[in-house]
Amino acid sequence: MIGIIGLGKVGSTVAEHLVLRELDDLVLIDIVKGLPQGNALDLSHMASELDIEVKIKGSNDYKDLEGSDIVILTAGFPRTSDMSRLDLLQKNKAIIEQISSKVMEYAPKSKVIVVTNPLDTMTYLSLKITGFDRNHLFGVGSELDAARLTFYLSSTLNIPRSSIDTFVIGEHGDSMTVLGSHSKVDGVPVKRLLNPSEFTDIVDKLKKSGAEVISLKGSTTFGIAAATSSIVESVIKDKREVHLVSFYLDGEYGFRDVCIGVPAIIGKNGVERVIELKLDEDEEKRFKKSVEVLKKSIELLMEDEMYRGYLA
């Protein structure tokens, strides 16, 4: 069974994607009375039309998470177009603390995937609160950033998206690191296909893309739902595919005690193995800066006495 906590626009769209993939039964949890039940009923009608045999339950009681193999955390305040993801830190930290405690109580053997922004910091906080094995609790990370990069490369080069492999690591935010040396078109590094100004322009578009979607339609939903459901499928089907997830580093890439986007093999045990790519000098510099940004956000959490016990 898959549990989803938070049935706003993101959570409900994630639920839709999971039903369409026919991965497992769902339990939808939200504190708003009627919201998860209504989503469950609506999604059940959709499944019936498509001859999809999954059971979907909506509940306001965290106890119904019992038996979940995977729990997805999407609850929290949404980002607005004038906010960075880190601006959400003060608003969403209390929500993540509460729901992480409930997951620890009712689904202690589950794999947990964090979607709530600021993604990397909320993943770190959830991991510290639950005390889960780091392989079993991680964030969606840079998966969506890589998908967006693929879109911009495809549009610029006028080539099929299926021909493109992209790698974006670091913060799911402004300090993300685009790996031009590892992002390739049919095996050819994109930096060989683009001049420096074209590459810089695409990276700028990528960094602004989330805010652009939010300014146009109010929230990002479809992209993040697709990224999340792809990762969930890799866990449930033990596909051992490479995904870009926010993972707690313990020496990988030379850093410790931070959750940050890195490529990893995802299978039935969650993160099976981190892939340590060789970075060029500029990529190393940018990745280090990203680590520093996230370390500062952890320091902001430490300033609140409520969280010191978890993070010390």
pLDDT in tens, 227-251: 999 999 999 999 999 999 999 999 9
The candidate with the shortest Cα–Cα distance to 64, out of 137, 139, 1, is: 1
Q: Do domains 2-139 and 143-301 have the same CATH topology?
A: no
Do the Cβ atoms of 152 and 125 come closer than 8 Å? no
**109 by DSSP, 3-state: which?**
coil
- Strands 137-139 and 111-114 come out as parallel
Tokens of 87: 């601006």
Spell out the CATH class of 143-301: alpha beta
Low-confidence ranges of the chain (pLDDT < 70): 79-86, 304-312
- Gap between the Cα atoms of 67 and 74, Å rounded: 19
SS3 content of the chain, % helix, strand, coil (to 5): 50, 20, 30
Give the active site residues: 172
d(CA 224, CA 241): 18
Annotated domain spans of the chain? 2-139, 143-301
CATH class, 2-139 region? alpha beta
Look up the pTM and report it.
Answer: 0.93
Termini Cα distance of the chain: 33
Q: What is the pLDDT of residue 222?
A: 95
- Sign (positive/negative) of CA torsion 280, 174, 193, 165? positive
**pLDDT for res 300:** 81
